[in-house]
Amino acid sequence: MEGAVDGARTAHLASPAVQTFAGSCHCGRVRFEVDADLERVTVCNCSMCTRTGYVHLIVPPERFRLLAGADDLALYQFGTKTAKHRFCRHCGVSGFYVPRSHPDHIDVNVRCLDGVDVSALTPNRFDGRHWEASVGRLEV
Ligand SMILES: [Zn+2]
């Protein structure tokens, strides 16, 4: 009986849907962890994301932990200034930010996670060039 319980617990921990990933900026001053389901990543064609190449993973704040670098983050805002575009002020890389669509969530850049092959993912596509018309269909 005890063996069955242990087996069930192991199976739960081995579930592929949500895993913990470590992430960082390029210089390593900003480090974080996220509990993530990589089936739910999104790319966007807006003026910002086309330039940065962001691969978005939007998670509730309890799934994100900033481990280091809070004082190394700079802020860039534009347009409605709802989104808080954070980036490392030393190396310029943005590992996460607060998105306009979900300002109570964290949007992690999958490209900054350790051990993730971005080319193997199948992202959803968000038409950020027509943000107001598209945001109602954005699922995270
Ligand atoms: Zn950095």
Q: Answer positive or negative: Cα dihedral of 17, 20, 26, 31.
A: positive
Calculate the CA dihedral of residues 38, 56, 135, 122 and round it to 10 degrees: -50
Asked if residue 60 lies in contact with residue 105, where contact means CB atoms within 8 angstroms, the answer is yes
Distance 74 CA to ligand 1 centre (A): 10
Distance 43 CA to ligand 1 centre (A): 23
By DSSP bridging, strand 42-44 and strand 124-126 are parallel
Which residues are within 5 Å of ligand 1 (an ion), measured at CB?
25, 27, 29, 88, 90-91
| 5 pLDDT tier (thresholds 50, 70, 90) | very low
Distance 102 CA to ligand 1 centre (A): 25
Region of residue 10 (phi > 0: left; psi between -120 and 50: alpha; otherwise: beta): alpha
Distance 90 CA to ligand 1 centre (A): 5
- List, for residues 82-126, the tens digit of each pLDDT value: 999 999 999 999 999 999 989 999 999 999 999 999 999 999 998
- List, for residues 32-55, the tens digit of each pLDDT value: 999 988 988 999 999 999 999 999
